[in-house]
Chain A
Amino acid sequence: MRANFIFSEVWIGLRRNLTMTIAVVITVAVSMALLGVGLMINSQVGLMKGYWNDKVEISVFLCKKGTAMPACNGKAITPAQTKALQEHIQNTPGVKGVIFEDEAAAYENFKQSFSSNKALVDATKVEDLPQSFRISLKDPDNYQPVIDAMKGQPGVAQVMDQKQLISPFFNLLNTLAFAALSVAVVLVLAAALLIGNTVRLSAFNRRRETGIMRLVGASNLYIQLPFVMEGVIAGLVGGVFAAVILILAKVFLFDEVVNFFGTGLGWNDLAQTITLTMIIGVVICILASFVTLRRYLRV
């Protein structure tokens, strides 16, 4: 096998089909970038779910004297009711654990959460904050039955689930990932067809050479490799552009998300995504080239 022979053939082929080669590079770059972004959103959602699932809990706020919630009728919860409620919670299926947060603990948490807003903290007294049960769940996604079981219990002012607050955001991210992946799939198809066309043109341009190669007994690999390499190189260059786009996406999009949601993708995840998209891009190029060659370069 003479590498320099193959590479000079590849170089000639790429140059002769420059416009087609550019089209392939662009299509591969855009499709792989979209595929990568879709995958990155997916793993971002996964990361955030893991992060929030550890923290998400259902808060069952208890009635105190003068609570404005209609379920309380203005009466504070009695110790007996508290005890009964705690037992009820512990017996509810799906509950992993329960912590009772009294007014003092609630005040401490409140002070921490709003430490930047001194006026608010100063204006709030310990008695203003409600007692609550903090319930952690076995399956954080399956919160509705537990919430339903808590509602209407005597002495319960309000049931709140953090999951309910953040799930619209997760849904949005999932939709985005799905959209990016769908467009990527369509573009990958377009890229495959384009590569097929490029290889076809290239095979037509070099039909004289390949005819002679066939005649003098060049092996199939020797005849086909330059064409496949053309596809692979176009795919690789497209993959490099896609990698650049993905790096920019990480720096300017995903790293911003980290600031808001506490967790984000690291360079490791990005490297994995880039590797994966590169491999997919090159494999598609190889497949498209081979399929086309089988049709247009009879050996």
Chain B
Amino acid sequence: MIHFDNVTKVYANQNRPALDHVSVDVDKGEFVFLVGPSGSGKSTFLRLILKEERPNSGAIHVAGKDLARLSNFKVPHLRRRIGCVFQDFRLLPNKNVYENVAFALEVIGKPRRFIRKVVPEVVELVGLEGKAHRMPDELSGGEQQRVAMARAFVNRPMILLADEPTGNIDPATSIGIMKVLDRINRTGTTVVMATHDAAIVDSMRKRVVELEDGKIVRDQSRGVYGQAY
């Protein structure tokens, strides 16, 4: 589903590569934690999958597509198959829960009838039934992140990328968020989650890829966050 082959990314005006000859394979339906200290290249990894950045060398395949050969014109279609969740939620403050989720479908031109059908389903999937007409500032951090996940998942993407989704949320609420991610993963969606949260990684027992200074230092199925040598 995601295939990195010897990928190196050096940002302009920087000597040290953000990713240094990284090769990794993520299969369909997998759940992968991407761990490592700040600046280890986790976000660069996610940005490369979205083709927000281009690698300096190496090849990236996402959902069977060679990103180097994907024209700019087709990048939006790639992104429709990838959902994204961030630490800072990125909701629209002037739209309610329903409208925030529906926005993701409106802007890719889905018909209104389809939107009216699928949005309530997804709102329920993330556990926000009955709160569809709340505004984001009336919701807790955990609930806002659920809205963001509903928006990321509403178009049934093949891949869900989560960049520290629990970074702004207390540990108790984080468990709920992880349950939703797990539920999404069980529908067959590949999930890649970058995180600092050791407790979550340890409790989930999923595949762990650890980055340090742009290199993969550990790739372990059913891993934990800390040193497990």
Contacts and interface: CB of A to CB of B under 8 A. Distances in A.
Interface of A: 1-2, 5, 208-209, 211-220, 222-223, 299
B92 A222 contact: no
A212 B92 contact: yes
Interface in B135-155: 151-152, 155
Contact of A212 (B73, B104, B109): B104
Contacts of B77: 217
Contacts of A215: 50, 79, 84, 90
B107 A1 contact: no
Nearest to B52: A214
A217 B92 contact: no
Contacts of B171: none
B80 A208 contact: no
A216 to B, nearest CB: 4
Given A218-B107, A222-B108, 8 more contacts: A208-B90, A209-B92, A216-B107, A216-B108, A216-B155, A217-B82, A219-B108, A222-B107
Interface of B: 50, 72-73, 75-84, 90, 92, 103-104, 106-109, 112, 151-152, 155
27 contacts: A2-B106, A2-B112, A5-B106, A208-B92, A211-B90, A212-B92, A212-B103, A212-B104, A212-B151, A213-B107, A215-B79, A215-B90, A216-B79, A216-B83, A216-B84, A216-B104, A216-B108, A216-B151, A216-B152, A217-B76, A217-B81, A217-B108, A217-B155, A218-B76, A220-B76, A222-B109, A299-B75
B92 to A, nearest CB: 6
Nearest to B77: A217
Contacts of A5: 106-107
A3 to B, nearest CB: 11
Given A208-B92, A209-B92, A222-B109, A214 B79 contact: yes
A2 B114 CA distance: 13
Given A214-B79, A217-B78, A219-B76, A1 B104 contact: no
Contacts of A213: 107
Interface class of chain B by DSSP: helix
Contacts of A218: 76, 107-108
Nearest to A212: B90
A217 B79 contact: yes
Contacts of A211: 90
7 tightest Cβ-Cβ pairs between the two chains A and B: A217-B80, A217-B79, A218-B107, A216-B104, A217-B76, A213-B107, A219-B76
Nearest to B90: A212
A218 B76 CA distance: 6
Nearest to B161: A215
Contact of B80 (A1, A212, A216, A223): A216
Nearest to A218: B107
Given A212-B103, A214-B79, A217-B76, A2 B90 contact: no
Contact of B109 (A2, A208, A223): A2
Contacts of B72: 299
Contacts of A212: 90, 92, 103-104, 107, 151
B103 to A, nearest CB: 7
Contacts of A209: 92, 103
Nearest to B50: A215
B157 to A, nearest CB: 9
Contacts of A217: 76-82, 108, 155
A218 B79 CA distance: 8
Contacts of B108: 216-219, 222
A14 B84 CA distance: 30
Nearest to A9: B107
Interface-centre pick from A5, A219, A222, A223 (highest chain B CB count, 10 A): A219
Interface-centre pick from B92, B107, B155 (highest chain A CB count, 10 A): B107
B152 to A, nearest CB: 8
A217 to B, nearest CB: 3
Contacts of B90: 208, 211-212, 215
A153 to B, nearest CB: 78
A220 B73 CA distance: 8
A2 B106 CA distance: 8
